[in-house]
Structure 1
Amino acid sequence: MLKSLSRPAVKLVERYLPDPYIFVLLLTIIAAAAAIAVERQTPLAVLRFWGDGFWNLLTFSMQMLLVLVTGFMLANSPPVKRLLQRLAGFANNAGAAIILVTLVSLAASWINWGFGLVVGALFAKELARQIRVDYRLLVASAYSGFIVWHGGLAGSVPLTIATDGHFAIEQIGVIGTGETIFSLFNLGIVLMLFIAVPLINRMMLPDERDSVYIDPSLLEEEETQRVRIKRPAERLENSMTLAWLVGIPGLLFLLDHFVLRGGGLNLNVVNFLFLFLAIVLHRTPRSLLESLHEAIKGGAGIVIQFPFYAGIMAIMVQSGLAETLSGALISLASEATLPFWTFISAGIVNIFVPSGGGQWAVQAPVMLPAAEALGVDVPRIAMAVAWGDAWTNLLQPFWALPVLGIAGLKAKDIMGFCLIQLLLTGVIIAAGLTWL
């Protein structure tokens, strides 16, 4: 049945989903028009919201570009390539490859979302080198594991409200991760998704006549030629000693961060880890630089599109449009249905404000008073926002850009499969938030 459903979904998306750059331009126009029509903002005010907020994600844009680049360089190092090859060897057919890449991506994304995006995409490429499998579904399966990130160890919303001094502390206090990430209802949702998402992907596997395969030779990297050193500069470029004199202290810093200071994972730490592991495992600066030149090709979409999303976020937040949208949906809720409507509203807002922390700042002023008035558990409402934010990432190409850059595909190639996942996982998450 899912195979039959996925076929028209894939064709629909391939035909009508534009390039992510066109998608972000359309979202910009829609957000601006809605702010003028619904919030009665003047065109000049909306223009100022947009222009003033356009560069607000510069730091995040660079972090995301580094997620792609450092993750690629790490996976392209000889030891990691050998490890991925061995792990891919556990899959002996197309169905097993789909399930394996989904499980790896789910596990990695639950640990850290940036880690999951890169590991899933790179593992998909390695599987495609060894197994004849529909490449679109393989990469879509790698991306689908991203859905669990906000219920995992790096979830922005639960970590924010667990931090002393957060903006809503006077209203709700500090809520520990035992009530959010490690609560029974959240772990139940995660467990159901770990079972359902791989099975759904497996059941969408097309017949051979409908499958799209990729020539494994196109995924192979060029063999590194042995360099004949003729100049002193070339000796430095090919010096393992120089690389390790910098790389090993970087890893020692991380050891101090995790062990002695009890630090946790965040995007900067993940990028630091990827970079310095890559420096050490590539052994020479020349090997690392050759990998960098290959990695940077996939980063163009991040560079040009993320500023537009920053502008959209500014329009949504400063015009009051995000608050109005959330409030309209919450007005339909009762004590029993508030988690559901919170989840739905968060999913819609996420299409325009694809940032977990930013979305909580927008929706908390609406959701928290509603939870208090209806007597609903605040941690459950907070996680409903978190899951709504993660859920519609299956439709929003913003987060898929690093995966697509690594895999060499376009959004329209994978989003048809993701649309089926969106519909089915939405039922699972909504049920978990309402009844678990």
Structure 2
Amino acid sequence: MVVSWMWPGIMNCSDPPEYDMLDSLLAVQQLVISAVIVTAFVATKTLVDNFRRRQAKLTAVVVGAGPVGLSTLMVAARSGRVTRVLLYEEQSKMQLFNQPHQIALDSRSAIFLKRFGVDFDNMEGCWDGGCFFTRLGVFQEYMLSIVYRLPVPVEVRLGTKFTRDTCKELESIGGRKLVLACDGANGQTVRHLGISDEYIQHSCRYYGAVAALERPGLCQIPLRERCANNLHFDLTAYGADNLDVDGHQGFSLKIFGTSRHRYMSLLIPKCESPLVKALRVVLDRSMMRNIFLKCFNTYKSDSESSLGDAFALKHMKFSPRLFEVKLSQRVETAAYFQDTDTFVVAEGEAARCYNIHTGRDVNIGIQGLHSLPEFIDRAAVCDSEHTILSTLSFKSHSAEQVCKDFLRHGLRDHILKS
């Protein structure tokens, strides 16, 4: 006989089914409650973050009232993130408006500026080949005349140089600030604010020479640019022998500027042809003067009179020999200073410039502004070290790309294809 013994009340090792169901219901309830809490937290955080992003604003300070500086002002004021704009310019109103030099805005730059309220149809100038030509002073006067239409208040401080004392004044402005240095290659704004003055020089793989001609008796009328390609020069009259074409590409010429102030640029890809060697080594001012004189008389507009030797001797300035064309790029174009909660960005020639005039020098600066709206949006909302570094990296990469694009085909587009 087999006898089995069990303790009273322990008839089965498992709980009754109703206990298992109760535990399951409790577990599900806890999961649901946790999910609701997490969802509510995420939803609340998202709403708060979105509200904070929508409300994130900053004060923009633009230094320089040149074409790039005034274009920067338009972009910043219409960004939706800027509550106030301050403009500092060392020159007076009369100095700005009386500047005689001509600027040429290519089609890409003109389309970009139209997006921010620039109406070229109400500006003195002329269109040709998709480019808009006007006098520098006319452009500046127009841009300053429409600041009252902008959606945010703009304080214009002409005749006021941006100095180290000005930097201290900025500290009194509450909230986040963005300083946009557009005061040219010789400007001191970025140095005053603590950005390095170090530049990298890139060869544009071209040799060039420039000339400037002033005709005091003529008015300042904008003129279209005139170009010619594959030019060769006979220098045997100057004792230079064996200057055959030798299969090498010739020079490209551009004549630009107003009717009173005319400019010429000669460019040729880097090569070692006898002609190029002679123009780089031989220092004979009469030789270069004669080249520019003949170029102007041959390719001037039909309405212009020819130049004589005596007039050129008195009124023309020029490069005495060919030089290597180089692009200077600022190493650091964007920075953030935590103690004052200030972003600093260099634009225009304060960020990049080259040592030759092509009639469209302003366009490489305006190309740098294409990334400015997104940068302002990022700069206004970034709130951590990671997002700040990401914002600076974005702007630095954009500035780097502008230089790469120009080195690749900038001079070709500005002169050879004009």
**TM norm. shorter chain > 0.5:** no
Which has more radius of gyration? 2
Q: Which has the higher strand share?
A: 2
TM-score, length-scaled by structure 1: 0.25
Q: TM-score, normalised by structure 2?
A: 0.26
More helix as a share of residues = 1
